[in-house]
Amino acid sequence: MSKTENKNLVILLHGVGASGADLLPLSRSWGQILPNTAFAAPDAPHPSNFGAGRQWFSVAGVTVENRPARIADARVSFDATLSAIIESHGFSERLERVALVGFSQGTIMALDAAVTGCWPVAAVVGFSGRLSSPPPFAPAKDTPVLLLHGEADPVIPSSESLAAAKILAGLGVAVETVLYPGLVHTISPQGAAAAGAFLVARLV
């Protein structure tokens, strides 16, 4: 299918030490319920500080205090990555047909895109992430957000998704949060199904 025939574009954003290919199973699952949809899973621009894989920003020595500045610094390369994908797929003038789906650090960057309002897309889905962007915030109010998180996550506590949802709701963003008891830092089949249904509701 050519890029001009695609109705939607879903961009998958991976976590630290991973690659875009790690999230491609989601595209194979969601492709069945999102016809005429292109899926893109880019590699983050920087090599991971911890062995193989890539990262959107360094987590070496990261703290609550310095994380926001690192996110802000990552915006240039992140925006360049998104711009190239969106343009190559023919969606530069159709952001209302684009969705961002992140996992872990990919969620951090997707939520940053949401709260800055730089990417007024159709929807944002965040698995196992947090909102640590530096204010001020100026979100696109028409971009709904779904946050999914395992309550047993040892990497990023599920309380981070609850805190993010509170901030987003206070900004006037439509946000839903789903927590999964016993789930660790991963995407469960139930979470993938819930995210797929959320995307279908906004893209089909």
Residue 77, in any domain of the structure: yes
Q: Which pLDDT tens digit goes with each residue over 137-146?
A: 999 999 999 9
CA dihedral 167, 169, 171, 174 (to 10 degrees): 130
Check residue 59 and give its pLDDT. 94
DSSP class of residue 22 equals: G
Residue 74, in any domain of the structure: yes
Strand order, beta sheet including 37-40: 37-40, 8-13, 98-103, 123-127, 145-150, 175-180
The model carries a pTM of: 0.96
* Number of structural domains the chain divides into: 1
Residue 3, in any domain of the structure: no
Check residue 93 and give its pLDDT. 95
Mean pLDDT of the chain: 95
Check residue 1 and give its pLDDT. 42
CA distance linking residue 125 with residue 107, whole number of Å: 8
Q: Which pLDDT tens digit goes with each residue over 129-163?
A: 999 999 999 999 999 999 999 999 999 999 999 99
50 pLDDT band (50/70/90 cuts)?
A: confident
Check residue 4 and give its pLDDT. 52
What domain range is 70 assigned to?
A: 8-203
Is residue 200's pLDDT more than 80? yes
Residue 2, in any domain of the structure: no
Say which CATH number the domain at 172 has: 3.40.50.1820
Element at 46 (helix H, strand E): strand 46-47
Check residue 53 and give its pLDDT. 95
Average pLDDT over residues 25-48: 96
Residue 1, in any domain of the structure: no
Percentage of the residues of the chain whose pLDDT score is greater than 70: 98
Tokens of 158: 């599920």
Q: How many CA atoms lie within 13 A of 132 on its CB side?
A: 25
Residue 89, in any domain of the structure: yes
